[in-house]
Structures are given as C-alpha cells and as structure tokens.
Structure 1
Amino acid sequence: MSDGRGKVTIGVDGQKIEGTILAPEKLVPGILFVHGWGGSQAQDLRRARKISRLGCLCFTFDLRGHAATEPMRERVTREENLNDLCAAYDFLAGQPQVDKSAIAVVGSSYGGYLAAILTSMRPVNWLALRVPALYRDEDWETPKAALDRDDLNKYRQTWLSYSDNRALRACSEFEGDVLIVESECDEMVPHPAVGGYMASFRSARSLTYRVLKGADHALSTEKDRAAYNKILNGWVTNMVLGARMGD
C-alpha cells in the first residue's frame, strides 16, 4: 500500500513494516536496500536517492524491531526479519517499471547476512554486501537480541566453509555479480567472517572486493561513509551501464 508520496507499508506475518520507494522517470533495474541490526532505512536513503538518478527504482524499508516497530526488538527473530526481506523484495519486483531480471540487493552487516540467504529464495542479479555478518544456523527461531554475543564473536573468528553455514551455502550457489566491502578496523565482523563470504562465491559472475582503510563497523565518520558511498555508487553504475549495453 502506498500513500502516493513514496511511503509504503507492507503486510507480513499479520503485521506491518514501513518503507520508502524512490523512482526516476526512466526505470529499468530495481535496487533493494537492507539495513543492519539496530539501524533503519534512514541510513540508506542518501545512497538510494543518488543511485535512483542512474535510472533505477530504489526501495528502502525498516526491518521489524526497528524504527516504528522498535518495541519488538527484544523478540523479533531472524526468521521474521527474513520474511520482512522477502516481502520487501516481492513488493519491489511487483512494481510494473522494474525489470525482474535486473534486481540488486544491497545489505549491510545483519542485512548483508539476510541478503545472502535471500539469493537462495528469490532471483537476484547483483549483490552488494558491506561488512556482512555471520550467525550460526542453530537457534534460528531464537530472538535475534537473545543470541550469545561472546559466542558470535568466537564464531566470526573461525574460517568457515560454505558447507558450514546457510548464508555461505547460498553464496556458493549465487551466479550474479558481487561487491564485498570490508572495514579495516571492524570490531564486530572480523576478516575471517568476510573471508568466508569471499571464498564462498564460487559461481559468481564477478567478485569485487574493497577495504575501507581505518573505517570501523558502523562507518562512524563522514569520511568513511563518503568512501563507501563512492564505492557502491561506482559499482552499481558499472553494473547498470553494463546491463544496458547488453540490451
């Protein structure tokens, strides 16, 4: 449902999540943004606005447990947030202007983890992951906020094969183009976790890897945010222009 101003609500599991859709006059690809745990779509709106000028329909949204539904934070599960992402994808893919063969998903941290899994459930042509997090397959229906942080930290320090993790298994089967951006001084998603993602993309059409020097997990400085925005915008531009040249 849309209010005619770009704000939309999507029904999922008997509840609602909120999003914002941005579209230029000429539309071809659809770009879906997935924020991280504790974030919101507000963090992606600036990037989405710029990328929409390339001729893309960009869609940002709030996972349950965030923004307007923050009171749910302590009880929302990964399963429910994955359902949110599927619902957001289906909404974007259902827009009449969107080329369903040219959909990109851009995920950060927890959103990157969910985005990786999404590729095993929905068609995705381009996948951009910034500091993608990793979680054990176990306790899938345990509230996300209740997961053992110390255990997660140890798990992310382990070099994992794609056969060891659901998100990495999805990556191993992905055949589109991939961008992975790592923060050099990431205190939450260390290099072994990012390396596990990189090693898992065995079938990807292309894999681009960038490291933000001196950046932390949250991109706390404007300089780091600008550097990431430049990388993402450049990569999406190359993907979109390449697709148009192939038409």
Structure 2
Amino acid sequence: MKKTEAHIKVDGRQLAGHFFEPSTGWPGILFIHGWAGSQKRDEKRSRAISRLGCICLTFDMRGHGLTQEEQQTVTRDDNLADIRAAYDVLASHPAVDASSIAVIASSYGAYLSTFLAAERPVRWLALRVPALYRDDDWDIPKYALDRKELQLFRSKQVPLHSNRALRQCREFGGDVLVVESENDHLVPHPTIASYLASFSNAHSITHRIISGADHALSEPESRRSYDELLLRWVREMVLDAR
C-alpha cells in the first residue's frame, strides 16, 4: 500500500487530498468527512480498507484543513462542488474501475453524498450519522444556519416528498449502509428513520447502531466498533462483488 498526494481543482482553487492504494487496480472508495472535520479522521480507515484491495481517496472540503479560514463563508453548493471534483479525480485514476465506486461519508458529508450519488455513478453508499437540512437557504453559508432550528427540524421524521436529499435517496439503486450513534443529540433517531424510509429502491440496506456512541465517536471503543463494522461491510459488499 502506498500514500500519494492528490490535487483536486475546483472553482479556481486546489484542495488537498491523499490516495491510499494497493499495488494493483481495484474498486475506488471516496471518503467524505463531516462539518468541522478533516481527512485526517479517515486516514486510518483508508489505510485499512486499501489493504483489502481498494483505492481510497480522502480530501478536505473547502472551509476545512488548509482552507479553514473559509469556513464561515462556504455554502452547501460550494462543498458539493468539492465532492464532485474529488469523485472525478478518483474515477479518473488509471487503476480504478469507474463502475465500482463506493462513497463513505459522515454527517454533513453524508448529506451531501446523496446529491453526489444522483449525479455520478455510485455503487455503494455508507452513511454514518447522516445529517439532514431544509432545502431552504441552500446558498446561505453553512456556518450561518440556525442550529436550534436545525435541531427542531431533525427531531421529527421528515416526509420524503418535502426534502431533496431524501428524494435523491429514493432514486439510489445500490447497496446502502446507515450507521447510527445511540447517544447522538445532533442527528437523532427520527433523522435516521427519515433516511431509512427513503431508500425504497436500494439493492440492500444495512442499518447498525453503535451502542453508547455520540455523534463524533468520541470514545475509542465507539471508533473501534465503527471501524470493524465498516470493514465487514466493505468486505461483504465491495470485495465480494469483484
């Protein structure tokens, strides 16, 4: 396995990223971090999955990593453009099978990945604690969204017809993993239930709850539990499909 730099160009900027790849070509996996996160949180998982024979790409969305000074101004549309650009870099890698790409995403990144899956070929979609947002204020900086209003919105199950992200989920025909944290106050169970109810056309849906975990997987045991279940799912879905 080797680690090499990836340069992702979007809207006149260059985002920092890293490939984790085996010595031969395999399926590609795009990691998408959450709000206020970074690609560093995905490096350990990328290394482990690349050893199974997958080419993994981690990267920092605008407003994170080396561009953190932009965090108060970036919008959901900006970060979706970042994700598209990162996907295109992965899909164009000479050793990647472009028909066999998985997306592994957390929270805000998981929300945005539903839009990516509607625009680009994605075969497998793993969503950890996927956040949900109203369709309104799409072009308002993410940092400026009202947190109390968001929590109220997420406290009840959202009808599929009233939310773009959920409607994108309905169209997805691949395999889905949804991971919930038992003690998550940012993304409570009704939000998870909204997502699960929306994947009506998925080839398969796997739902797992990490006992005692909070949103950020603050405890080492919670992180280990997630790492283990993610590896099992990748082995079953991605590697067995080769």
- For these two proteins, the number of residue pairs brought into alignment is 241
User: Aligned match of 1:236 in 231, 234, 239?
Assistant: 234
> Once the 2 structures are TM-superposed, how far is the Cα of residue 5 of structure 1 from its aligned partner?
5.8
User: Aligned match of 1:8 in 6, 9, 19?
Assistant: 6
Structure 1 residue aligned with 2:138: 140
- 2:3 and 2:20 in contact (8 A); partners too: no
Structure 2 residue aligned with 1:195: 193
Secondary structure at the counterpart of residue 150 of structure 2: helix
1:106-121 matched pairs, under 5 angstroms: 106-121=104-119
Structure 1 residue aligned with 2:128: 130
* TM-score, reference length from structure 1: 0.96
Structure 2 residue aligned with 1:53: 51
Residue identity in the other structure for 1:201: F
Q: Is 1:18 equivalent to 2:9 in the alignment?
A: no
User: Aligned match of 1:77 in 67, 75, 78?
Assistant: 75
> Once the 2 structures are TM-superposed, how far is the Cα of residue 11 of structure 1 from its aligned partner?
1.1
* TM-score, reference length from structure 2: 0.98
> Once the 2 structures are TM-superposed, how far is the Cα of residue 187 of structure 1 from its aligned partner?
1.2
Of stretches 57-66 and 23-32 in structure 1, the one that deviates more from structure 2 is: 23-32
Secondary structure at the counterpart of residue 101 of structure 1: strand
Write out per-residue CA displacement over residues 87-108 of structure 1, whole angstroms, 9 at most, x where no aligned residue: 0000000011111111000010
Residue identity in the other structure for 1:145: Y
Residue identity in the other structure for 1:151: E
- The CA RMSD over aligned residues, in Å, is 1.0
Secondary structure at the counterpart of residue 75 of structure 1: coil
Write out per-residue CA displacement over residues 174-220 of structure 1, whole angstroms, 9 at most, x where no aligned residue: 00000000000001000010100000000000000000001000000
Question: Hey, what's the Cα distance between the residues in 1 that align with 2:239 and 2:116?
Answer: 24
Question: Hey, what's the Cα distance between the residues in 1 that align with 2:28 and 2:136?
Answer: 32
Distance 1:213 1:7, change over 3 A: same
Write out per-residue CA displacement over residues 109-162 of structure 1, whole angstroms, 9 at most, x where no aligned residue: 001001111111111000000000000111000000000101100111121122
Secondary structure at the counterpart of residue 102 of structure 1: strand
> Once the 2 structures are TM-superposed, how far is the Cα of residue 240 of structure 1 from its aligned partner?
2.2
Residue identity in the other structure for 1:60: T
Residue identity in the other structure for 1:124: V
Secondary structure at the counterpart of residue 207 of structure 1: strand
Residue identity in the other structure for 2:218: S
Gaps spanning 5+ residues in structure 2: where? none
> Once the 2 structures are TM-superposed, how far is the Cα of residue 80 of structure 1 from its aligned partner?
0.3
Residue identity in the other structure for 1:69: T
After TM superposition, the runs of 4+ consecutive aligned structure 1 residues lying more than 2 A away are none
- 2:3 and 2:21 in contact (8 A); partners too: no
Name the one with the larger strand percent: 2
Structure 2 residue aligned with 1:180: 178
Residue identity in the other structure for 1:235: W
Structure 2 residue aligned with 1:160: 158
Question: Hey, what's the Cα distance between the residues in 2 that align with 1:199 and 1:22?
Answer: 34
Question: Hey, what's the Cα distance between the residues in 2 that align with 1:168 and 1:14?
Answer: 31
> Once the 2 structures are TM-superposed, how far is the Cα of residue 241 of structure 1 from its aligned partner?
2.7
Question: Hey, what's the Cα distance between the residues in 1 that align with 2:228 and 2:46?
Answer: 12
Question: Hey, what's the Cα distance between the residues in 1 that align with 2:67 and 2:32?
Answer: 16
Question: Hey, what's the Cα distance between the residues in 2 that align with 1:130 and 1:65?
Answer: 21
Question: Hey, what's the Cα distance between the residues in 2 that align with 1:208 and 1:10?
Answer: 31
